[in-house]
Structure 1
Amino acid sequence: MRKVRFDVRPWGDGPVPACELLPHIDNVSLVDLVSGFEHASGYDAPGAYAGIVLDHFNFGDLTAYLMGRTESAYWAKRGVIALLGCDCGEVGCWPLEASVLIDDDLVTWRGFVQPHRPDRDYGSFGPFTFRRNQYERAVREAAALTFSS
């Protein structure tokens, strides 16, 4: 079983940095995991990701969003959420998206896609499954940090 955490950290080099939410799986950032996968697959522009820059993205309630219950018509219609955005800070520019599946005991990220490269096959990237109580705790901790930032 995997463990997830969401680091909340400063992003950008302006006088007041923005706030970035960066998922980690088993203490490895999702950016590093997907970058390694994309390099090994020979994809163009591999790993050009950052976490979600919260100041640049209207995700609604963060807890609901990370649980896959997005309020955004765009994300809800597609049945996915962006777990990463572009290294420029804009989610829509270069997102890494996945479905969030929840059952009584587990949360799974699966079906990863890069919507700007629909021919890419992420079938062997993931799925990543977490114990639901550990995932929900990590989400609550991240949400608490974003409110205090």
Structure 2
Amino acid sequence: MISNEIGFDCRQRGDDGPLEVIACIDGAPLTELIDKFEIAARMQPAGDCYGGLIPEFYRFGPMADHFRGQSTAAPGSKTPVLGCECGEWGCWPLVTTITVTDDQVIWDAFEQPHRKARDYSGFGPFRFERRRYDEALATLTAAEALRQSKPR
């Protein structure tokens, strides 16, 4: 079975702004991967529509739980993995089904909930080795804790 690599890029949004989390798959930001897919599929609008998630703005719960599909803020059965480029995840989210087993984590059934007619069946699925996925989440949790401990 082919396994993708996962990482989470944690960056400050703007000058002294909040923490923004962008998933990276096989070294590429998810924002770039979805832009390329939507542009190639001639979806409109497409390109520069997505941004990372901003935990400080929303009640996702711990990001490690969120990226295991156990978010306290996710509507329905899918989990937001990207928000709008404006910083509001509800404005233009990319959502997916996150399935966690003992051995792997799978992201599939991607959807742009504001454009139900869009076909994302060619995007993903992404399969991650569970141990490495958990390591990436531990790194994300540490970055989140460090950010929260800094005075603003």
Q: How many residues align?
A: 144
Q: How far apart, CA to CA, are the structure 2 residues paired with 1:9 and 1:97?
A: 21
Q: Paired residue for 1:11?
A: 13
Q: Secondary structure in 2 aligned to 1:104? A: coil
Residues 48-90 of structure 1 show CA distances to partners (whole Å, capped at 9, x for unaligned) of 0011122222201211111111223xx2x51111000000000
Moved over 4 A (4+): none
Alignment check: 8 A CA contact 2:50 2:83 kept? yes
Q: Paired residue for 1:119?
A: 117
Matched residue type, 1:92: G
Q: Paired residue for 1:64?
A: 65
Q: Secondary structure in 2 aligned to 1:89? A: coil
Q: Paired residue for 1:104?
A: 102
User: Are residue 53 (structure 1) and residue 51 (structure 2) matched?
Assistant: no
Q: CA RMSD in A?
A: 1.0
Alignment check: 8 A CA contact 1:57 1:90 kept? no
**1:19 Cα shift?**
0.7
Structural mapping, 1:128-147, within 5 Å:
128-147=126-145
Q: How far apart, CA to CA, are the structure 1 residues paired with 2:38 and 2:58?
A: 25
Q: Paired residue for 2:150?
A: none
Q: Paired residue for 1:82?
A: 80
TM-score, structure 1 as length reference: 0.93
Residues 15-37 of structure 1 show CA distances to partners (whole Å, capped at 9, x for unaligned) of x2111001000100000000000
Matched residue type, 2:12: P
**1:143 Cα shift?**
1.0
Q: How far apart, CA to CA, are the structure 2 residues paired with 1:56 and 1:104?
A: 31
Residues 78-109 of structure 1 show CA distances to partners (whole Å, capped at 9, x for unaligned) of 11110000000000000000010011101000
Identity value in percent = 35
User: Are residue 23 (structure 1) and residue 23 (structure 2) matched?
Assistant: yes
Q: Which has the higher helix share?
A: 1
